[in-house]
Structure 1
Amino acid sequence: MTFISHWLGQVEYQAALAQQREMVEAHLKDADTPDSLLLLEHPPTLTLGRCAKREHLLVNEATLQQRGFALFEVERGGDITYHGPGQLVGYPILNLKRLYRSNELDLHRYISDIEEVLIVALAEFGVKGWRYPGYTGVWVDFEGDPAKIAAIGIKVNSKGITSHGFALNISTDLSHFDLIVPCGICEHGVISLSRLLRRTVAIDDARPCVIEAFRRVFGYENNNE
């Protein structure tokens, strides 16, 4: 079994959402549609998931507009999060029932597998990523405290087709997270790979690591990029 990875560059959030929906629809129309991984960056954007609390947005919408931030309410799980340049965003469009060879939808397994992809990819940079019980995403140790380096928010429809996905901070402007309570977590901060390593890491450096980790963790034979 193979998957197709697509590097889209920087894409407006709404355009990426429309592309995801088109690809999900293709899966629904044709069971032989290959699984895909969309990789991209977004311009500065805030999204509120199904469980988001508006009070976790710390500025008003007029301020966001003045600063050039887009704001969307979306159907993924989770609270509020930030997307922006220097952040590698991944949207897997997968048929989970086919991938896991089961008619039961094991969403905990799927989220754990995405976390594992990111943990494996970070290891290529000598970084130990880990799961924090009670929190979705991937964490690292930074100056003696836990810091979140990757957020995850997914949607899986009744047919087992996935959309939305993960956001891995590579060289993200971390000050942009000050506009929100990231993922509703106020007791811990966020971090980027570049700040953690104290050197600039490019998206192009991280992307192949994520693609290969995705292939290995999900058990694909190869990637038809």
Structure 2
Amino acid sequence: MRIIDCGLMEYHQSLALQERLVAAIGAGNEEETLLLLQHPPVYTIGRGGNPANILDPAVRVERVNRGGDVTWHGPGQVVGYPLVNLGRRGRDLHRWLRFLEEVLVHTLTAFGIKGHRCPGSTGVWTAQGKIAFIGVGVRRWVTMHGFSLNVLPDLAVFSRINPCGISGCPVTSMAMEGQSPLSEQQVVLQLKNDFVHLLNRWLPLP
């Protein structure tokens, strides 16, 4: 598993990189890869997302080939795009989603934050609201897209949408959960460790 810190990257640039790597991984020409990065401010919506969940008509939204509804990416948020060959790891998309949630719960725990799953809503929550978002795509059983974790973003951006299609969805961050000041690089390092540690436990290679 290769991990690449991409820093700040435009959304379409990251999508092109994912598409290139997914094709190469599927062909056996590249190893599985986790991209960790931040985006300039951007709203995206999944292929089945409902435009009615965009509450502000001035919001420009990118429609993309992932599951899930509308969300936001931007400063203060850590984004992860794991490009993993599920064809060699059990071909179980449901388990893949639960694995991503588990990674995020472990990372939050390392910073003293109690995260949990919410039945019927993919992602991770705390008692204060949704703190991590997940939307994935799969091409020939190679995953793309992934997760975002609110570290210290301006949460007002979520008031312009129904996050993940949930009306009135409360949204929180690690900073709001009492973890301030907080280094995004510390969070990235912890995410790396938790992802690698849990991957072969949850989705072992044959």
Taking structure 2 as the reference length, the TM-score comes to: 0.93
Q: Which amino acid aligns with 2:64?
A: V
Give, in whole Å, the separation in 2 of the partners of 1:35 and 1:52: 28
Q: Does the CA contact (< 8 Å) of 2:123 and 2:134 recur in 1?
A: yes
Please list the CA deviations of residues 97-144 of structure 1 after superposition, one character each: whole Å capped at 9, or x if unmatched.
22x2x3xx21110000000000011111011111000100001112xx
User: Is the CA contact (8 Å cut-off) linking 1:171 and 1:202 kept in structure 2?
Assistant: no
Q: Which residue of 2 aligns with 1:149?
A: 131
CA contact (8 A) 2:163 2:169 kept: no
CA shift, 1:32, in A, is 5.4
Alignment partner, residue 150 of structure 2: 169
Matched, 1:125 2:111: yes
- Structure 1 position 51, deviation (Å): 2.0
Aligned ranges 1:72-151 → 2 under 5 Å: 72-98=62-88, 100=89, 102=90, 105-142=91-128, 147-151=129-133
- Does the 8 Å contact 1:171/1:200 carry over to 2? no
Q: Count how many residue pairs are aligned between Structure 1 and Structure 2.
A: 201
Most deviating of 204-213 and 192-201: 192-201
Q: Give the partner amino acid of 2:18.
A: Q
1:211 has 2:201 as partner: no
Change (3 A) 1:210 1:113: same
Tell me by how many angstroms 1:187 deviates. 4.0
Structure with higher Rg: it is 1
Given candidates 29, 34, 38, the residue that maps to 1:41 is 38
Tell me, in whole angstroms, the C-alpha distance in 2 between the residues paired with 1:9 and 1:85: 11
CA distance in 2, matches of 1:176, 1:200: 21
- Equivalent residue for 2:14, pick from 13, 16, 33: 16
3-state secondary structure, aligned to 1:7: strand
Question: Helix, strand or coil: the match of 2:192?
Answer: helix
Do the aligned partners of 2:105 and 2:124 also contact (CA within 8 Å) in 1? yes
Write the letter of the residue equivalent to 2:8.
Q
Conservation of the 8 A alpha-carbon contact between 2:111 and 2:179: no
Runs in 1 of length 4+ with deviation above 4 angstroms? Answer: none
TM-score after normalising by structure 1: 0.86
Counterparts of 1:197 and 1:25 in 2: how far apart (Å)?
41
The alignment's C-alpha RMSD in Å is 1.3
Shift of residue 80 of structure 1?
Answer: 0.3
Gaps of 5+ in 2: 202-206
